[in-house]
Amino acid sequence: MISVITCCRHPKPQSTQEKNIAKTVSTHYEYLPIDGTSGASLASLWNFGISRSSGDIVVFLPEDVFFMKHNWGVVLEEKFADPSIAGIGVAGTQYLSAETPSITAAGRPFIKGRIVYHLQNGDFFAVVFSQERGDFEVVACDGVFLAVRASHLAHAWFDQEVFDGEHFADTDLCMQLRKCGRLIITTEIVLKKRSQVQFDSAWREYSNRFKDKWSAELPARCVEVIPDPKQYQSSQCVNLQGKVPMETIC
Q: Report how far residue 50's alpha carbon sits from residue 100's, in angstroms, rounded to the nearest whole number.
A: 29
What average pLDDT is seen over the chain?
A: 95
Confidence (pLDDT) at 82: 98
- What pLDDT band is residue 14 in, cutting at 50, 70 and 90? confident
**pLDDT one-digit tens code per residue, 92-148:** 999 999 999 999 999 999 999 999 999 989 999 999 999 999 999 999 999 999 999
Asked if the structure places residue 245 within a domain, the reply is: no
Whole-number Å distance between alpha carbons of 174 and 185: 12
- pLDDT above 90 (res 23): yes
Is 18 within a domain? yes
Residue 246 lies in a domain: no
pLDDT, one tens digit per residue, over 214-233 is 999 999 999 999 999 889 99
Which tens digit of pLDDT belongs to each residue from 191-216? Answer: 999 998 888 999 999 999 999 999 99
Within a domain: 250: no
Flag whether 51 is in a domain: yes
Instruction: Give the predicted TM-score (pTM) of the model.
Output: 0.96
Q: Which helix (H) or strand (E) holds 73?
A: helix 72-79
Q: How many domains does the chain have?
A: 1
- Other Cβ atoms within 10 Å of 207 Cβ, number: 18
Please check the confidence at residue 11 and state whether its pLDDT lies above 80: no
Residue 182: inside a domain: yes
Say which residues have a Cβ less than 8 Å from residue 186's Cβ, sequence separation at least 6. Answer: 75, 79, 88, 89, 90, 113, 134, 135
Domain range for 215 is 2-239
| 128: β partners | 114, 236
Q: Could you tell me if residue 249 is inside a domain? A: no
Residue 105 lies in a domain: yes
- For residue 205, the domain's CATH number is 3.90.550.10
